[in-house]
């Protein structure tokens, strides 16, 4: 059974890159993409056109997004009793101290700076998969 991942990212290049990275790693991933914060929340709350959306096992969140930005999305996920159990990894180009601190204060499960090279990016994606989707025991395994 493939794991369901929601990638919240506005940059098509990064979306494709993430897709390629998962592909290269050979994992069975059902990758869904939301290109802004509003879409992301609709997907997570299964509202409107996303009423039938699956509940993701895992969220990859970029911080800089149009409309509702990544920090707000993170806050909303972690405030929502239904959503806060979903592991949410901040994956962003920023390595600014302020962003790192703020993200953890908002209960991000993990903060990762996007590596500059594809090689490394690919490795990071694999490590995320290994840790969060293989090593860790997640909520979805519970009744």
Partner 1 sequence: MLDAPRSSGLLEGVASIGGTCPPTAEATRLARMEARYRGLLKAAPDAMVVVNETGEIVVVNMQAEKRFGFHRHELLGKKMTCIIPGGSVEQLIADCTRTAAESMAQQIATGIELTGRRKDGSEFPVEIMLSPLDDADGILVTAAIRDISVRKAADAHLVQMEARYRGLLEAAPDAMVVVNQAGEIIIVNVQAEKRFGFHRHELLGEKMTRIIPGGFAERLIADGARTAADALAQQIGAGIELTGRRKDGSEFPIEIMLSPLDGAEGILVTAAIRDISVRKAADAHLVRMEARYRELLEAAPDAMVVINQAGLIVLMNLQAEKQFGYKREEAIGKDVTSIIPVGFAERLVADGMRSAQESVEQQIGSGIELIARRRDGSEFPIEIMLSPLGGEQGILVTAAIRDITKRKNADAYLLRKVEELNRSNEELGQFAYIASHDLQEPLRMVASYTELLARRYKGKLDSDADEFMAYAVDGAHRMQQLIKDLLTYSRVATNERRLRETSSQDALTHALHNLRAAIADANAHITSDPMPTVFADATQLVQVFQNLISNAIKYQSHGAPRVHISAAQTGTGGWIISIQDNGLGIEKQYFEKIFGMFQRLHQRDEFSGTGIGLAVCKKIIEQHGGRIWVTSEPGEGSLFQFTLTES
Which residues in this chain contact partner 1 in the complex, by CB under 8 A?
Answer: 11, 13-14, 17, 20, 93-94, 96, 114, 116-119, 121
Q: Which is nearer to partner 1, 9 or 57 (CB)?
A: 9
State the minimum distance, in angstroms, from the CB of residue 96 to partner 1: 8
Q: Which is nearer to partner 1, 4 or 93 (CB)?
A: 93
Please, what sign has the CA dihedral across residues 102, 122, 54, 49?
positive
Tokens of 65: 């997004």
Tokens of 81: 């009793």
Q: Which is nearer to partner 1, 11 or 109 (CB)?
A: 11
State the minimum distance, in angstroms, from the CB of residue 31 to partner 1: 17
State the minimum distance, in angstroms, from the CB of residue 95 to partner 1: 8
**Tokens 């998962």 sit on residue:** 22
Q: Which is nearer to partner 1, 18 or 88 (CB)?
A: 18
State the minimum distance, in angstroms, from the CB of residue 119 to partner 1: 6
**Tokens 């990544």 sit on residue:** 70
Q: Which of 86, 40, 31 is nearest to 63 (CA)?
A: 40
Sheet containing 110-113: order of strands:
29-34, 3-8, 58-61, 88-92, 110-113
């Amino acid at each position: 059974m493939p794991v369901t991942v929601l990638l919240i990212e506005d940059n098509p290049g990064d979306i494709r890159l993430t897709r390629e990275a998962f592909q290269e790693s050979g994992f069975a991933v059902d990758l869904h993409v939301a290109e802004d914060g509003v879409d992301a929340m609709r997907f997570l709350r299964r509202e409107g056109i996303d009423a039938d959306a699956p509940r993701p096992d895992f969220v990859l969140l970029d911080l800089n997004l149009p409309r509702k930005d990544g920090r707000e999305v993170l806050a909303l996920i972690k405030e929502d009793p239904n959503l806060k159990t979903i592991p949410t990894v901040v994956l962003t180009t920023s390595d600014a101290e302020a962003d790192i601190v703020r993200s953890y204060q908002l209960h991000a499960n993990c903060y990762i700076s996007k590596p500059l090279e594809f090689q490394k990016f690919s490795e990071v994606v694999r490590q995320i998969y290994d840790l969060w989707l293989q090593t860790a025991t997640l909520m979805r395994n519970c009744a």
